[in-house]
Amino acid sequence: MTTINNVRYAAITLLFLLAGCSQRTPQTTVEVLDTSLSITPRAEKDALDAVQNQIAHMQRGDRLVLIPVTGDAANNAAGRVLRLSAPTERETYDTDMRRFRETALKQFAAWVSSLDPHQTRTDILGSLDIARQEFDVLPKDTHRKLIVVSDFLEDDGTYRFVSASSLANPARARELAAQIQQRTGLALPGVSLCLGRLESSDFAPLAAQRKEAVQAFWSAYLVAAGQSTEIQFDGTGLLADAERGCAGGKR
């Protein structure tokens, strides 16, 4: 009898463990999207289609925040950040989730329509600070991830990465990154960071050394922010499979 009771106890314990493992932790994802003129139309469409697919597959409790890269994030991002929060309380036949996805997709379509089709400048640094502000108020008991897709060519009126002498080689780029990081103090504790490159008409013709300098800048800037990551080649693929791992990760 004791043996049977032990088997029953073990089976019940296993069921509880499996039930606990099956509970999914909600995802909190902030995405910074570059749709400036340097991004090719094909890459922009593929990126936006991937985000639309993400929204269609959001699950209960998930949050998705979309931040457009503008020419002056501090002034232009206000009112352009789209925040989507999937419901947490289940209704019969998951009616709540169907209603949420339908509304969210309409909000996303309106957000896309609001983007400036003639945006030439790209304040990526400012957009990262907007993302930091979002994480300051988002719940910390979820998987928190920041995805940035761009050509990573800062052009905010102060820095122009395609021609600035401070990006002439990797060593100078790292020096600039340290200077800017000291001034901005960007920090993203507890956040997994993923960077993906989008096809760009401005990036392709750059000399190899300047391309290396751009990579060096962002690596140095983000390491100083408590992150370790690399720019992945396929930004669209990163959005299409947003839950996959990234090079580097949270610290």
Encoded amino acid at 241, one letter: D
> What's the rounded Cα separation, in Å, for the pair 78 and 193?
23
Give the pLDDT confidence score for residue 249 in this predicted structure: 42
**Sheet order of strands, 27-33 included:** 82-85, 63-68, 27-33, 143-150, 192-197, 231-232
Query: Each residue of 57-104: pLDDT tens digit?
Result: 999 999 999 999 998 887 777 678 999 999 998 889 889 999 999 999
Q: Is residue 236 classed exposed, middle or buried when 0-12, 13-18 and 19+ CB atoms within 10 A define those classes?
A: buried
> What's the rounded Cα separation, in Å, for the pair 248 and 251?
9
Query: Each residue of 23-48: pLDDT tens digit?
Result: 778 999 999 999 999 999 999 999 99
Backbone angles phi, psi at 40, to 5 degrees: -65, 150
Give the pLDDT confidence score for residue 18 in this predicted structure: 43
Say if CB 196 and CB 232 are below 8 A apart: yes
pTM of the predicted protein model: 0.86
Query: Each residue of 143-185: pLDDT tens digit?
Result: 999 999 999 999 999 999 999 999 999 999 999 999 999 999 8
Paired strand residues for 84: 64
> What's the rounded Cα separation, in Å, for the pair 163 and 166?
9
16 pLDDT more than 70: no
> What's the rounded Cα separation, in Å, for the pair 9 and 6?
5
> What's the rounded Cα separation, in Å, for the pair 68 and 82?
9
Confidence of residue 250 (pLDDT cuts 50, 70, 90): very low
Number of CB atoms found within 10 A of residue 185's CB: 11
